[in-house]
Structure 1
């Protein structure tokens, strides 16, 4: 296997280790890392669909947008700023971007304009909408990585935008050639 440099996790996916963080939103989560610096990190959980929540309940009435027939899946992006929404989308859409990690295939928007464009079929080719985001303070994510709470992999558009949310986590491990059956619970003390 070639040497992998994961010192900058921007644009990577974090896969929660199988027995890590049981009982909270991060258990068996996949997180797309939007930004990773020495000062901290920001990401969006991409496999926690909020079931049976119509878009109209989230957006209410927005002037100039007919959301009655909007078929938009809504995800829990993380526990920070849950009153705020974010679109993780392909970078074919580039209006008023909040983040464009490494000028790559993905971007993040958080404005009404992208919602209008999606409703009018002028939005990005692929997108997911999240409520809230995940954040780590300086050194926090690095400590979690040292404690084997996360497995790091490269972003994969098919995985990110897959509608098979129930299996995204296990599929991400399979793409790496890993079976969750080979993991055993551990408190990381040898």
Structure 2
């Protein structure tokens, strides 16, 4: 008999969150919240929302001095690429992920919107790299109870929540037994 089962009835899909189980041993994903931007038969990808790096965007790309946002570690795949999500529907060519949450779009347009104060730095989150899964890989990890799927995706949670408490807040939003999981200590031996 298995002691813990984190599974819930939700299936992964674009616009949902993956919340790492409380004791996931992978250091890339310990206590992380991942926004899924795509999930289909060919695989899945998204961005870790709560792992800030020590870099700012204008240190990564010198030609965009107007952005002083912290860059987040989006995941272990292609960490030499810069991605962004935002909550501004007027960024051209952006892909809607969930209500008022968009991925990418025309980067030059984003800079113009920022420079003309039509978008705030608080409305954009930048990532180095991304999290990716091959065909069937995420489903296998879900069967192994590595992830909890959450459909409580709000722009407030993604853009206004302190990264240090985002994992706990996402679990609390699910209520019931998931609220209990949110209070699990990082190391149960210290309890």
Q: Same fold (TM over 0.5)?
A: yes
Correspondence 1:12 to 2:7: no
Contact 1:74 1:128 in 2 (8 A): yes
Give 3-state SS (helix, strand or coil) of 2:35's partner: strand
Structure 1 residue 123: Cα displacement: 3.1
Higher relative helix content: 2
Q: Which residue of 1 aligns with 2:37?
A: 34
Q: Which residue of 1 aligns with 2:60?
A: 58
Structure 1 residue 127: Cα displacement: 1.8
Distance 2:123 2:90 in 1: 9
Unaligned runs of 5+ in 1: 186-190
Contact 1:162 1:168 in 2 (8 A): no
Distance 1:131 1:141 in 2: 21
What root-mean-square deviation, in Å, do the aligned CA atoms of Structure 1 and Structure 2 show?
2.5
- Counterparts of 1:59-138 in structure 2, within 5 Å, are 59-60=61-62, 62=63, 65=64, 67=65, 70-97=67-94, 99-101=95-97, 104-109=99-104, 111-113=106-108, 114-123=110-119, 126-138=123-135
Counting matched residue pairs gives 173
Distance 2:165 2:135 in 1: 31
After superposition, what is the alpha-carbon deviation per residue over 1:73-92, rounded to whole angstroms, capped at 9, x for unaligned?
Answer: 21111111211111111242
Unaligned runs of 5+ in 2: 1-7
